């Protein structure tokens, strides 16, 4: 009889515990709508990454965590969206890493010209200790990062002439991201860099307020810069990445289970986004030529000359950054290039 009573009590306690656990896990994932803004059009690889992230997160959360995409500057330019994330009125964005140099200047390391030579080196640099050290500086600025996406190698377009050597940049008014590394790099080439929000760029090219700009091939195609610039030159001067950002105010409201779902979905979406982005870059070159742009590549010798012109700029900025992070950057580059 005592055994039966004990079994009954144990069974009741186990059932109660199971019920409580069930309630807790149900509370772990709440119905949430995540506003995800970015600058790019819906045919761009960044948009494809957002859609994949949304699909993965919905699947992992049983449909409770819903992502709403706001492409094409609908929620403002990069700086406006950054402020919206910091203020907690927007949940996510995927800006170029360059836009973060204003709040964590060491993000400028990613913009150093001619630092990596191919995609494998770029991924190793960003997914390794350097990328993580930079991400670790963001929470105190009101942001949380879930990893890096591919934007691609940046290339110059303009309405005046092909860029075949450093001297060809001299005197050209080139729109650049409002970022000190970009400004000083193009000044070193004796160009006239013009900092300007991306949303204003097409109009500025059309009105000839600027002669040219620099962006990855997929961005050039998606934004129809072929309509306002004749020349596209494969300068490959900077590898550009986007970064998945979350508002820390929003992140802190999430349960550990929800945060894990976000991280897992972000990791899977990153691999997908990089693949489609790199395929799109390859395809974009042919499409730009078909649209009438004159395409040229630079010789290895001229690229080496450009690297030498830019070296004093990178030396100057490296001297002003956190020495511990600069050491990680240099150590990682040495490791990656040595592979």
Residue 66 has pLDDT above 50, yes or no: yes
The DSSP secondary-structure symbol of 59 reads H
pLDDT at 199: 86
Contact partners, residue 5, CB within 8 Å, separation at least 6: none
Q: List, for residues 75-108, the tens digit of each pLDDT value.
A: 999 999 999 999 999 999 999 998 898 899 999 9
Q: List, for residues 296-332, the tens digit of each pLDDT value.
A: 999 989 988 999 999 999 999 999 999 999 999 999 9
Q: Give the chain's domain count.
A: 1
Q: List, for residues 238-274, the tens digit of each pLDDT value.
A: 999 999 999 999 999 999 999 999 999 999 999 999 9
**Mean of the pLDDT values across residues 154-170?**
98
Taking the whole predicted model, whether its pTM rises above 0.85 is answered as no
Residue 119 forms part of a structural domain: yes
Q: Which single residue is written with the structure tokens 């991280």?
A: 263
CATH number, domain at 312? 3.40.190.170
Residue 126 forms part of a structural domain: yes
Question: Strands (DSSP E) along the chain, which ranges?
Answer: 32-37, 65-70, 92-93, 143-158, 173-176, 192-195, 212-215, 231-247, 294-297
Residue 9 forms part of a structural domain: no
Residue 12 forms part of a structural domain: no
Residue 283 forms part of a structural domain: yes
Nearest 10 degrees: CA dihedral of 161, 167, 171, 173? 60
Residue 220 forms part of a structural domain: yes
pLDDT at 177: 84
Q: How far apart are the first and last CA of the chain?
A: 72
Residue 231 forms part of a structural domain: yes
Q: List, for residues 206-221, the tens digit of each pLDDT value.
A: 999 999 999 999 889 9
Domain ranges, residue 185: 30-338
pLDDT at 117: 85
Residue 23 has pLDDT above 50, yes or no: no
């Amino acid at each position: 009889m005592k055994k039966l009573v004990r079994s009954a009590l144990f069974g009741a306690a186990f059932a109660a515990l199971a019920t409580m656990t069930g309630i807790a896990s149900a509370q772990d994932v709440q119905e949430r709508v995540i506003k995800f803004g970015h600058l790019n059009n819906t045919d761009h690889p960044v948009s494809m990454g957002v859609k994949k992230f949304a699909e993965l997160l919905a699947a992992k959360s049983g449909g409770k965590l819903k992502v709403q995409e706001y492409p094409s500057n609908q929620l403002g330019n990069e700086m406006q969206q950054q402020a919206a994330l910091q203020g907690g009125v927007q949940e996510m964005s995927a800006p170029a890493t360059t836009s973060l140099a204003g709040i964590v200047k060491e993000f400028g390391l990613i913009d150093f010209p001619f630092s990596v030579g191919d995609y494998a080196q770029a991924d190793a640099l960003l997914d390794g200790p350097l990328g993580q050290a930079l991400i670790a500086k963001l929470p105190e600025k009101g942001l949380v990062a879930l990893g890096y996406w591919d934007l691609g190698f940046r290339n110059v377009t303009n309405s005046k002439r092909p860029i075949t050597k450093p001297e060809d940049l001299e005197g050209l008014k080139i729109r650049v991201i409002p970022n000190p590394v970009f400004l000083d790099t193009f000044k070193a080439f004796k160009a006239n860099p013009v900092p300007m929000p991306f949303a204003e760029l097409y109009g500025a090219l059309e009105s000839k307020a600027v002669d040219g700009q620099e962006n990855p091939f997929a961005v050039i195609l998606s934004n129809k810069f072929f309509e306002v610039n004749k020349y596209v030159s494969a300068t490959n001067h900077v590898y550009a990445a986007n970064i998945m950002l979350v508002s820390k105010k929003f992140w802190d409201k999430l349960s550990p289970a929800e945060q894990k779902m976000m991280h897992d979905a972000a990791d899977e979406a990153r691999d997908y986004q990089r693949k489609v982005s790199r395929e799109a870059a390859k395809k974009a070159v042919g499409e730009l030529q078909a649209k009438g742009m004159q395409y040229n590549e630079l010789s290895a010798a001229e690229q080496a000359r450009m690297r030498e012109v830019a070296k004093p700029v990178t030396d100057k900025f490296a001297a002003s950054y956190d020495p511990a992070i600069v050491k990680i950057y240099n150590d990682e580059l040495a490791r990656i290039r040595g592979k």
